[in-house]
Amino acid sequence: MTSDLAAQGARRVEWIRSRMPLLAAMREEFATRQPFAGHRIGMSLHIEPKTAVLLETLQAGGAEIVSTGNHGSTQDDVVAFLREQGMTVFGARDDTLEQHHVNIAGVLDAAADMLLDNGGDLAAGVVERGVTASILGGTEETTSGGDRLRGELAGAIPFPVIVINDSLLKAIGENKHAVGQSVVESFMRITNLMVPGRRFVVVGYGWCGRGVAHYLRALGGKVAVVEVDELKAFEAALDGFRVSTAVDLAPWGDVFITATGHADVLTLDAIERMHDGAVLANCGHFPWEIDVAGLRDAAVASREIDDAIERLDLADGRHVILLAGGRMFNLAGREPKGNSLESMDLGFLLQTLSLERVATSAASLRAGAQPVPDDIDRTIARRMLAAMHAAE
Ligand SMILES: NC(=O)c1ccc[n+]([C@@H]2O[C@H](COP(=O)([O-])OP(=O)(O)OC[C@H]3O[C@@H](n4cnc5c(N)ncnc54)[C@H](O)[C@@H]3O)[C@@H](O)[C@H]2O)c1
């Protein structure tokens, strides 16, 4: 019998599934191809409705799924739905960090022969347990997991791991365009402020920063860029943005958005020069880009004004607004949407085709971390163009 929670999960997945055409086509192909028949995939990935569509697709290809989510973000209705589809899923939204580690151990105990990893936890687990020989290969979703495989785990992984975040297709489709769109959407949803005419300073002009700067300008925002790499700073200037340092732009900007992946790119020396009411937000992966600790020390008072909006009063009478405590603000606030369905359709097809490559041709891949094979990027780009009717 379907539980109420599973039924709620099923309803939420329905809309998402209906707008992920690349994965839908894959499920049809897999019905006959069955590349994962006889394989058990052990997974660690943020569990929400888009992930459910990925898991359904792998299951349609014959895979047995044993999965857990990220700590603190597992959606219980989606877990209930996936369990009803015959998958083994560990984890709940309120799990402690300790329980999360038990969940990861549960996935490792299932003795999967393929891994879909997130941050390198499963790869580190099989090395620690000395069971690497039983693994055919797998994928790694994140840059930080890729860094770990190439750093502390280098030489210890005798099977291939395709690092999804190394894909140029993903950089374009997700980091630039999806993060660009969702950062602008989140700024508007969380603050309810106007973009047109407002002065934004974007720190970092990599894939994400470029997207953020372009989407803000597209809505009429005035945008300046801070970038330490002179080539990217030059590109930002040619793209028509004002380019300078954070300290120099501090009195000019109304809103400051960091997108670098690096620590302390917005510090007190800039914050002290900002005008009263300046808004600070970060969309980089780690919550360390804005010097939040330094800001809290300098503040004489602080209070939560609304969901993900905090006011910090400074000694000279000015105040600044910090969104989402300096964490990724496009995943915060009421009803965070995260990145667009289409970008996740694309990202999860990268996962699916990379796992299929491992299942069918592991011997043709080298051991350890490696980028997504170029032909997979190009196949998906062609499919995405067709799904978008871009040629019409
Ligand atoms: N919020 C999301 O949904 C989301 C999605 C994808 C990636 N990310 C994260 O966003 C961050 C940026 O990703 P990316 O793909 O744009 O990386 P990237 O490497 O393409 O760009 C980072 C840029 O920041 C610049 N930079 C570094 N230190 C700087 C400093 N002190 N001041 C100014 N510029 C500086 C670098 O020169 C580089 O151009 C990463 O942490 C990534 O994990 C977030």
* H/E stretch holding 302: strand 299-306
Any ligand 1 atom below 6 A from CB of 202: no
Query: How does pLDDT run along the chain (392 residues), one tens digit per residue?
Result: 568 999 999 999 999 999 999 999 999 999 999 999 999 999 999 899 999 999 999 999 999 999 999 877 789 999 999 999 999 999 998 899 899 999 999 999 999 999 999 989 999 999 999 999 999 999 999 888 899 999 999 999 999 999 999 899 999 999 999 999 999 999 999 999 999 999 999 999 999 999 999 999 999 999 999 999 999 999 999 999 999 999 999 999 999 999 998 999 999 999 999 999 999 999 998 889 999 999 999 999 999 999 999 999 999 999 999 999 999 999 888 888 888 999 999 999 999 999 999 999 999 999 999 999 999 999 999 999 999 887 67
Asked if residues 331 and 288 have their Cβ atoms less than 8 Å apart, the reply is no
Give the C-alpha separation, 260 to 205, whole Å: 8
10 CA to centre of own chain:
23
Any ligand 1 atom below 6 A from CB of 250: no
Q: Do the annotations mark residue 209 as ligand-binding? A: yes
Encoded tokens for 174 = 């997700």
Q: Do the annotations mark residue 338 as ligand-binding? A: no
Encoded tokens for 180 = 């660009």
Encoded tokens for 266 = 């917005």
- Give residue limits of the domains in the chain: 4-166+340-387, 171-331
CA distances from 310 to 299, 300, 324 (A): 12, 13, 8
Give the sheet arrangement for strand 40-44, strand by strand: 88-90, 64-68, 40-44, 114-117, 137-140, 160-163, 368-371
Asked if residues 177 and 213 have their Cβ atoms less than 8 Å apart, the reply is no
pTM for this predicted structure: 0.89
Give the C-alpha separation, 60 to 32, whole Å: 9
Encoded tokens for 162 = 């395709």
Asked if residues 71 and 41 have their Cβ atoms less than 8 Å apart, the reply is no
Any ligand 1 atom below 6 A from CB of 265: yes
Cα of 358 vs centre of ligand 1, distance in Å, is 29
Tell me: ipTM over 0.85. yes
Any ligand 1 atom below 6 A from CB of 208: yes
Q: Do the annotations mark residue 227 as ligand-binding? A: yes
Q: Which CATH architecture has domain 4-166+340-387?
A: 3-Layer(aba) Sandwich (3.40)
Q: Do domains 4-166+340-387 and 171-331 have the same CATH topology?
A: yes
Any ligand 1 atom below 6 A from CB of 258: no
DSSP 174: I
Any ligand 1 atom below 6 A from CB of 179: yes
Query: Exposed, middle or buried: residue 300 (CB in 10 Å: 0-12, 13-18, 19+)?
Result: exposed
Q: Which are the contacts of 248, defined by CB distance < 8 A and separation ≥ 6? A: none
Q: Do the annotations mark residue 211 as ligand-binding? A: yes
Any ligand 1 atom below 6 A from CB of 336: no
The one-letter code for the residue type at 20 is M
CA distances from 388 to 14, 167, 202, 207 (A): 20, 20, 29, 22
Pocket test for ligand 1, best of 175, 185, 214, 241 (most atoms within 8 A of CB): 175
Q: Do the annotations mark residue 210 as ligand-binding? A: yes
Q: Which CATH architecture has domain 171-331?
A: 3-Layer(aba) Sandwich (3.40)
Q: Which are the contacts of 158, defined by CB distance < 8 A and separation ≥ 6? A: 132, 133, 367
